[in-house]
Amino acid sequence: MKVEIAYIGGSSTLGLNFPEKFLPPDIKFLKAESYETPYGQSPKFYFMEIGSKKVVHVKMHGWRSGVSRRDASLQVFWVFRNLGVSKIFSEGGVGAVNHLLDLRDVVIPTDYLDFTMRKDVHLTSDYLLVMRKPTCPEINHALYESAKKHAKGRVFPRGVYACTDGRHFESVAEVYYFKNAGADVIGQSMVPEVYLAREIGACYGRIDLVVNYAEGIVKDWEHKELKDIYYNNALTNLQIITDAIINFKPQDQCECKDLRKETLLKLE
């Protein structure tokens, strides 16, 4: 089955256990499949119709116990490439680095800072990836318009996402460093997704829910408050994604495909 649109589920909707135990009325479940890839057995991929569009969905970025995040990412994007995916919607929960952000605000990242150590995550070495515009303005616009209707907090159409390896939260000194580097939020999933999406020639956009203040920002975060946001905002976050997909009308006037170039570093 060829599918144009993919939805990568993250922590901001995990509490719903979508789609096994919760399926909104405007979503039709078709099937679930796992695939053997060069990087190991993939996670489950859920095929569905959201509105009139066929969509493939994977939970929590493919992360799961016993599988490195590197291999999980490669499995997910290997499958996406084989399915013909060309538009990718992603989401997650982030910590606020910009002290003007509040809990439950929504940020649509338009740039990133890569502080991960996962530098060898690629499917092929055939391309030079130009990252001057890492996220797709058409997907970003669809997410922004949907978030304005459904989000419980404020919605910001731009921001800088600092990506770290996790799974621990960052230290106060690290957060101070990221803030001085220009970050607005901290998360753990935009990298390597943003690279792999460009590598397979797909447009990529994401939306992130502020679920805590980063260490040293505004006030100490509380586990109880974090848990409340994860579970009680999950439906809202799913509504934002599904509404954005339903109303998505790509004009293919973005530069995403043009920012993947043939590599000049080929060995005969």
The pLDDT assigned to 21 comes to 84
The pLDDT assigned to 14 comes to 84
What confidence tens digit (pLDDT) does each residue in 84-135 have?
Answer: 999 999 999 999 999 999 999 999 999 999 999 877 899 998 999 999 999 9
The pLDDT assigned to 119 comes to 75
Mean pLDDT in the chain?
94
Q: Percent of the chain beyond pLDDT 90?
A: 81
The pLDDT assigned to 117 comes to 87
The pLDDT assigned to 144 comes to 98
pTM, to two decimals: 0.95
CA separation, residue 89 to residues 103, 175, 187 (Å): 22, 27, 16
What confidence tens digit (pLDDT) does each residue in 58-94 have?
Answer: 999 999 999 999 999 999 999 999 999 999 999 999 9
Whether 97 and 145 have beta carbons less than 8 Å apart is answered as no
Give CA–CA dist 91/81, Å, rounded: 20
- Tell me the average pLDDT across 196-218: 97
What residue ranges define each of the domains in the chain, with the CATH number in brackets? 5-254 (3.40.50.1580)
Say yes or no to pLDDT of 261 above 80.
Answer: yes
Say yes or no to pLDDT of 267 above 70.
Answer: no
The pLDDT assigned to 136 comes to 98
The pLDDT assigned to 190 comes to 97
**Burial class for 234, CB neighbours closer than 10 Å (0-12, 13-18, 19+):** buried
Whether 102 and 185 have beta carbons less than 8 Å apart is answered as no
The pLDDT assigned to 120 comes to 81
Whether 35 and 45 have beta carbons less than 8 Å apart is answered as yes
The pLDDT assigned to 225 comes to 87
Give CA–CA dist 229/137, Å, rounded: 27
Euclidean distance between the first and the last CA atom of the chain, given in angstroms as a whole number: 36
- Tell me the average pLDDT across 233-240: 92
Q: Which two tokens stand for residue 1?
A: 């089955």
- What are residue 251's phi and psi, to 5 degrees? -100, -10
